[in-house]
Amino acid sequence: MAKLILLRHGQSLWNAANKFTGWVDVPLSEQGRAEATIASCKLKNNKYHVDICFTSMLFRAMETAVICLTECDEICGGKTPIIKHDATDEDWHGWDKYEGNPEEELPLYTCAALDERYYGALQGLNKTQTAEKYGKEKVHEWRRSFSVPPPGGESLEDTMKRALPFFQNRIITHLKHGDNVLVAAHGNSLRAIIMSLDNLSPEEVTQLELATGVPIIYDFDESGEATNKIILK
């Protein structure tokens, strides 16, 4: 039975500073790197292994994935994670000239569909100060509601419209083939995926909180249906 491992990135420098981050490309903090290492150890100790990895285009998610895959190399069977760049990008550097060696390498794909939701005018602002200015209830609505976006930004519903099709068309295909998949992404792109997997209503998803660096594992059968869920706290 294939495993889907969902992992919110470790604490970023702006998580530590209590700032809205969104699409601002902020790296992990020292604690965030430690959280990714701990996640790697948890997966190793529970004898999970990974065949393929997907992350967002944001560095904090990529950094988390690479640390998780390399701190305990048993997770990827001693293979080297290789970041697979899009050869159609303007800054193409001949990425597709190397076909790869599946026996020695683990592919890591990046995709903007898995990016954190865009926080618009809130990006870079302190969360506590923003709550003082607009009110705690309004800021909570912007952060946790399904359909209400922050000023100039995306709602969770907007994020779901890009994250879920990618998950269904790309990631579930690998799960149906029996591959164990690691997805390192963000609180809201993962909330969108989990909302679908757990059949949560728009009201129920407002209560869903994802800790940084904590692996969530789903079992998938050959039909692409999730059958079981475990959180490695």
Largest separation between any pair of C-alpha atoms in the chain: 55
For residue 97, what pLDDT is reported?
A: 77
Q: How far is C-alpha 7 from the chain's CA centre?
A: 6
Active-site option among 9, 35, 63, 154: 9
Domain range enclosing 163: 2-231
Binding residues for substrate, as ranges, are 8-15, 21-22, 60, 116-119, 127, 143-144, 187-188
* Whole-number pLDDT of residue 105: 96
Is 9 a catalytic site residue?
A: yes
What CATH number has the domain bearing residue 104?
3.40.50.1240
pLDDT of residue 90: 66
Mean pLDDT per 10-residue segment, the chain (233 residues): 97 98 98 98 97 98 97 93 79 74 94 97 97 96 94 97 97 97 98 97 94 97 93 94
AA letter at 8: R
pLDDT of residue 98: 79
Instruction: Please tell me the number of Cα atoms within 13 Å of 21 on its side-chain side.
Output: 22
Q: What is the pLDDT of residue 87?
A: 66
Q: What pLDDT does 85 receive?
A: 80
Number of independent structural domains in the chain: 1
Residue 88 has a pLDDT of 67
Amino acid 99: pLDDT:
80
Q: Is 209 a catalytic residue?
A: no
Residue 80: φ, ψ to 5°: -90, 125
How many whole angstroms separate alpha carbon 57 and alpha carbon 73? 23
